[in-house]
Structure 1
Amino acid sequence: MTSLETLLRNTQDVKVIDSTINNEDYVALDLSPSNHELLNFDIKCAVSFEKYIENHLALNNAQIAFGGYNEKRNLYQRSTIFKDEETDERNMHIGLDLWIKAGTPVLSALDAKVHSFDFNAGFGDYGPTIILEHQLEDQTFYTLYGHLSLNSLDGIEIGTVFKKGEQFATLGDAAVNGDYSPHLHFQIIKNISDKFGDYPGVCSKKELPFYLENCPDPNLLLKITA
C-alpha cells in the first residue's frame, strides 16, 4: 500500500484558495513566539491582527501569507477553549493557515464529497467549517476547511460532490470566524474517527506526535514552497 504522504507528494496542481493567485505571490508568516514583530500588534484583537497581516503582505509584495504547521503559538492564550483546569494547554498548530481577505473563494483540493459541516461558533473557534472526504488510490482521507463565511453552509449537504479546484465556499470575517483576521485553516486528516464538522486544529505538546502522524503537512499537497 502506498502511503498517503507519498500520494500527496505525487499529486500536482492543487489549489485550495483563489486559483488566480500564483505560488510566487505567497509569503511565509511566522506566528510563533520567536517573531518579535508581534509585540508591536495586539494579536488578541482581530482588527489589529488584520492590520499586521495586511502590513506583512504589503512589505513583501504578496497576496497570501501562509504557514503554521507544527508551529507553537501564544495566540490561543486569549481563548478558554484551548486551556482548562483539566487539560494541558493547546498551543501547537497542526494545520496550514492561508491569510487573505474575507470573501476569497475556497476550492476543493481534490475530487471530493462532503463528509460533514458545522458552525463551530465561539471565541477562538473555527466558525463555519466544512470537511471533505477524498480517495487517492486505496487511501481515504479528509480535508478540513475552517473560518469560512456563514453563507458557505447554505444549501450544502452531506454527500455533495465537488471536483478538484471547484469553489464550494468563501472566507469569513471576524464576526463569524472565531474572531480572527480572515484566513483559511486547511488541514489533512487520515483518521477522522467519530468527529463531525469539527476536528482539533491545535493540540498540546503531549499530543503532538499523534496529531503529526494523523494530520500530514498540508504543504505536501499544496507545494507552496519547494
Structure 2
Amino acid sequence: MSQIIDVLQKYPGFPGVIVNRKPYKKLDFSASNTDLASRNLTATRDFSDYVHKELLGDGTYIGIGGYLENRVIYRNREHFGKQKAARSIHLGVDIWAKAGEPVYTPLKGIVHSYAFNDQYGDYGPTIILRHHLNGVSFYTLYGHLSLDSVDGLYTGKLFGAGEKIAEIGNFPENGDWPPHLHFQVITDIGNYEGDFPGVCSVQDQDYYRSICPDPNLILRIE
C-alpha cells in the first residue's frame, strides 16, 4: 500500500474523472446525517430527488465523498446483507452528478474487465481499468454507468489519460441508485472480473483499506 501511495502522491497531476467545472459539495450518508432517518431510501426516485434537487441544488453542485464512510443508506438493500456482518463501509469515492455526465480515465490504462452487475443495489454497468505507473500496477473501478458505456467494449482496450470511457447511468440500469459514479482504486484485485467489493463490513474494513487506498490521491478534490 505504501508504494502505491508514494507513486500517486509524486505523480505531477491527473486530468480528472469528471471535468465539469461546477463546485463540489461534500455529501454525508452516515448516521451523522439525521435527515436520512425520515427518508424512504428504497424509493429511488425520491432518493434521487433528495440528492440532486435538495442537496445539490438541481445541478448547482457536484456531490463528492464517501471513502470509508459507515453508511446507513445500505440498510434497506438486501444486496448488502442484514446479518451482523452486513456491509456498510464504503471503499470508494462517489461523485454525484446527473445521468449522462461524461466520465474520463485519469491516466493511461487498459480494460481489465467489465460487466453489467444487474441487481438492485449493485453497480449496474461497471468498468475496471488496469494501470501501470512508475513500476507499480493497480486498478481503477467505475461503477453505476450507463449501459451504452459497456457496449462494444473489450478486454485489453487502451484508453489514454483524460480520454472519455463512460457516462454516468440513470436508474434503474445503474443498480437503481440516484445517478452518480463510484470510483475506487484497487491494488490487489484477485480473481474478480467486472466486479469488486465497493462496500465491506466493519469487521473487514482493515483488510479492504489495505488494498483500496483513498481515491482522492488521484482526484485531489479539496
Count of residue correspondences: 220
Alignment of 1:10-159 (within 5 A): 10-11=10-11, 12-17=13-18, 19-21=19-21, 25-54=23-52, 55-58=54-57, 62-83=60-81, 88-159=85-156
Give the % identical residues.
43
Contact 1:21 1:63 in 2 (8 A): no
**CA pair 77-39 structure 1, distance change in 2 beyond 3 A:** closer
State the SS of the aligned residue for 1:217: coil
In structure 1, what is the equivalent of residue 9 of structure 2? 9
Give, in angstroms, the shift of residue 10 of structure 1.
2.3
Contact 1:96 1:187 in 2 (8 A): yes
What is the one-letter code of the residue matched to 1:53?
V
Contact 2:75 2:82 in 1 (8 A): no
Give, in angstroms, the shift of residue 84 of structure 1.
5.4
Contact 1:111 1:164 in 2 (8 A): yes
Give, in angstroms, the shift of residue 2 of structure 1.
7.3
Give, in angstroms, the shift of residue 65 of structure 1.
0.3
Unaligned runs of 5+ in 1: none
TM-score w.r.t. length of structure 2? 0.94
Contact 2:168 2:181 in 1 (8 A): yes
Give, in angstroms, the shift of residue 215 of structure 1.
0.2
User: How big is each residue's C-alpha offset from its partner over 1:114-170, in whole Å with a ceiling of 9 and x where there is no partner?
Assistant: 000000001000000000000111100000000000011111000000011100110
TM-score w.r.t. length of structure 1? 0.92
What is the one-letter code of the residue matched to 1:57?
L
What is the one-letter code of the residue matched to 1:10?
K
In structure 2, what is the equivalent of residue 222 of structure 1? 219
What is the one-letter code of the residue matched to 1:3?
Q
Q: CA RMSD in A?
A: 1.8
Unaligned runs of 5+ in 2: none
State the SS of the aligned residue for 1:208: helix
